[in-house]
Chains A and B, each alone.
Chain A
Amino acid sequence: MSDAITERPEVTAQRRQSRIIYAILAGLMAIFLLFELKLPFLVGPQARGLYEAVEKVPAQKPILLVLNWAPGTYGENYPQTEALIQHFFLARKPFAIFGIDPVGPSLGQEIAARQAERLGRTYGVDWVNIGYRPLQLPMILGMTRDLPGTLKRDAQGTELATLPLMRGVHSARDLGMIIDVTPSATLDIWIQYFHGAVGTPVGYAPTAVMAPEAYPYLQSKQIVGMLAGIKGAAEYAALLQQRPDASLAWKYPPMRAMNAVSIAHVLIVVLIVLGNYQYFTRHRRREEQA
């Protein structure tokens, strides 16, 4: 009982510290999200690799944009998806949205429909939304052999084979590229069954925490490029900005989010230093008392 009483001030102090940290973080993030700052920024080889690979996709081969993300990773995957879709529309690369997460294709539909309306692109010709299918190995194998036969209809119930964009697509060989936008470990599927079996190029847009796992595949050229989290989206936005036909409109500008993440990283580093300083000062004081 007495222990509980003696511990209480420490717990109260910890709670107070947490609240102060929460308030500082929320305040700084809000400021950096509201105001745009120009900070030095370099485009890495991973984002450039993906951008250049998309540019090289033949116009008659659609890109399969796999959206396996849900609102939980909105902050990172939404700007990545928006950057990729704007690139496809600007470069006139037809694409098909697909997902093995039930929510991903619905989120992609909203972005694609908005951008298509803005840039004057047509559903069925420039883009389609195949929708969600549960992740099952037989379905993936079926897609590699007979894509319209396995997936049959788009999200609106239209036969895929009747859509102009899908007319030349019979198997995974007829796809120009697959890009997986995801917070999950789904990359292996596309590498094993699409890149490994039929040679379809694979691009990857994971959340920042998932990115380290993809480096071996980048070195072995099993993936052509990667957008790592919000940094990847900001890099891709910078590349899009350099296009002569750049007509961009963002719901969530990636560079602004990047600056907010920037200040959060700096705060974390400062807190680690402060925490360690406090720890060593206490440690030394205890040793002196002993």
Chain B
Amino acid sequence: MLALKILLGFAAGIAFLGLLDRFTNTRSRRLLMVSFTFLGGLFYLLEFVIPPGTGFLGWQAPNPARDNFLSPLIEQIGQVVLVIGGFAFGLGLLNLAALHGRTLLRGRPGWVNSLAFFVAMVGMTVAGLFQANSPTLRTVHRLLFEGLYQPLGASVFSILAFFITTAAYRAFRIRSGEATLMMAAAFIVMMAQVPMGMMLTDWLPTQGWLAYFRIEQVSDWLMTVLNMAALRAVGFGIGIGGLAMSLRVWLSLEKGTYFGKEM
């Protein structure tokens, strides 16, 4: 029943998008996008700034001590956005299937990878969706997820350790005063992270003024004073930039492939 509802919802969504495409031109489509973007942003802005207990035309929130008249709509709008997010997954899958399907059907170089994509996608989807109904599929799912996906993911990321180690040997050169400072800070923080590094100053007491010279204490000072000051400055800049960017998106002032240009 759930699968039928999902299929019907998906078909209705596609039909709606098809009708929009058929009966609207570029100008009206843009107007539609701009209006929805503005109304969505306006809703959240008003919900945030209107004081709790405020009503509108007799419409009150069930909990006026905490909410205003717009607050009860947050949950419904949240569900709508979740559904739209689901469509993004669907579109991604369709796009991948179209791309790999073409490579596979035309026998282009790398068709084996495309075949692997389809086998993995179908195998994992079937095993994941129907594992509750079949012990065999449960075993297949465990084999794919725990026996293949998890070790593969961990292995790919672990290769980084080898690259970082060779990069440390080849790229980290003390050519200037700044590089020397960076090297010293990196040495202290890296060694303070691990027991072998802590052994370097383990002979110092853990209490009293001498304790400040223990490597983990020096590292903590670097992280909580110098690093934090720099991060706050960066965070402040990002915050202001984000505010400006949000305003541009909300008011549809942003230009580019995803905003003003036809794809």
Residue numbers of A with Cβ under 8 A of B are 14, 17-18, 21-22, 25-26, 29, 39-42, 44-45, 70-75, 103, 106-107, 110, 133-134, 136-139, 141-142, 145-146, 149-150, 208, 212-213, 215-216, 218-219, 229, 231, 258-259, 261-269, 271-272, 274-276, 279
> Could you say which of B24-32, B105-113, B189-197, B250-258 contacts chain A?
B189-197
Q: Which chain B positions have C-beta within 8 A of A134? A: 82, 85-86, 89
User: Which one, B74, B191, B196, contacts A145 given CB within 8 A?
Assistant: B74
**Are A74 and B150 neighbours in the complex by a CB distance under 8 Å?**
yes
**Are A272 and B168 neighbours in the complex by a CB distance under 8 Å?**
yes
Q: Which chain A positions have C-beta within 8 A of B85? A: 134, 136
Q: Which chain A positions have C-beta within 8 A of B133? A: none
**Complex: how many Å from CA A208 to CA B220?**
14
Given contacts A259-B195, A269-B187, A275-B173, contact A71 B153 (CB under 8 A): yes
A-B contact count (CB 8 A): 158
**Are A212 and B223 neighbours in the complex by a CB distance under 8 Å?**
yes
User: Which one, B78, B89, B153, B197, contacts A150 given CB within 8 A?
Assistant: B78
**Are B173 and A276 neighbours in the complex by a CB distance under 8 Å?**
yes
Taking A39-B195, A72-B156, A134-B85 as known contacts, 8 extra A-B pairs with beta carbons closer than 8 A to each other, sorted by chain A number, are A29-B161, A137-B81, A139-B78, A145-B71, A215-B231, A262-B194, A271-B165, A276-B174
* Contact size range, B: 35 or more
**Complex: how many Å from CA A145 to CA B196?**
48
Q: Report, nearest first, the 6 A-B pairs whose CB atoms are least far apart.
A: A71-B153, A138-B78, A39-B195, A262-B194, A142-B78, A72-B157
Q: Which chain A positions have C-beta within 8 A of B240? A: none
List which B146-195 residues lie within 8 A (CB) of chain A: 146, 149-154, 156-158, 161-162, 164-166, 168-170, 172-174, 183, 187, 190-191, 193-195
**Complex: how many Å from CA A231 to CA B223?**
15
**Are B75 and A41 neighbours in the complex by a CB distance under 8 Å?**
no
Q: Which chain A positions have C-beta within 8 A of B260? A: none
Q: Which chain B positions have C-beta within 8 A of A216? A: 228, 231-232, 235
**Complex: how many Å from CA A279 to CA B202?**
32
**Complex: how many Å from CA A70 to CA B153?**
8
11 A–B contacts from the bound complex (CB under 8 Å) = A25-B165, A39-B196, A45-B220, A75-B154, A75-B158, A136-B81, A145-B71, A212-B227, A272-B172, A275-B168, A276-B173
**Are B228 and A231 neighbours in the complex by a CB distance under 8 Å?**
no
Given contacts A216-B232, A259-B195, contact A71 B151 (CB under 8 A): yes
Q: Which chain A positions have C-beta within 8 A of B153? A: 70-72, 74
**Complex: how many Å from CA A134 to CA B78?**
11
**Complex: how many Å from CA A41 to CA B85?**
46
**Are B228 and A21 neighbours in the complex by a CB distance under 8 Å?**
no
**Are A271 and B169 neighbours in the complex by a CB distance under 8 Å?**
yes
Distance to closest chain B CB from A80 (angstroms)? 15
**Complex: how many Å from CA A260 to CA B161?**
12
**Complex: how many Å from CA A139 to CA B85?**
11
**Are A215 and B74 neighbours in the complex by a CB distance under 8 Å?**
no
Distance to closest chain B CB from A164 (angstroms)? 23
**Are B196 and A263 neighbours in the complex by a CB distance under 8 Å?**
yes
**Are A138 and B170 neighbours in the complex by a CB distance under 8 Å?**
no
Q: Which chain B positions have C-beta within 8 A of A21? A: 162, 165-166, 169
Closest to B153 in A: A71
User: Which one, B82, B164, B235, contacts A133 given CB within 8 A?
Assistant: B82
Closest to B73 in A: A138
**Complex: how many Å from CA A95 to CA B105?**
49
Q: Convert B223-241 into 0s and 1s, putting 1 for each residue whose CB lies closer than 8 angstroms to a CB of A.
A: 1100110011001000000
Distance to closest chain B CB from A152 (angstroms)? 9
Q: Which chain B positions have C-beta within 8 A of A215? A: 223-224, 227-228, 231
**Complex: how many Å from CA A137 to CA B48?**
13
Distance to closest chain A CB from B140 (angstroms)? 15
Answer yes or no: B212 CB below 8 A from chain A CBs.
Answer: no
**Are A142 and B75 neighbours in the complex by a CB distance under 8 Å?**
yes
User: Which one, B154, B164, B187, B196, contacts A262 given CB within 8 A?
Assistant: B196
**Are A44 and B216 neighbours in the complex by a CB distance under 8 Å?**
yes
Distance to closest chain B CB from A79 (angstroms)? 13
**Are A17 and B169 neighbours in the complex by a CB distance under 8 Å?**
yes
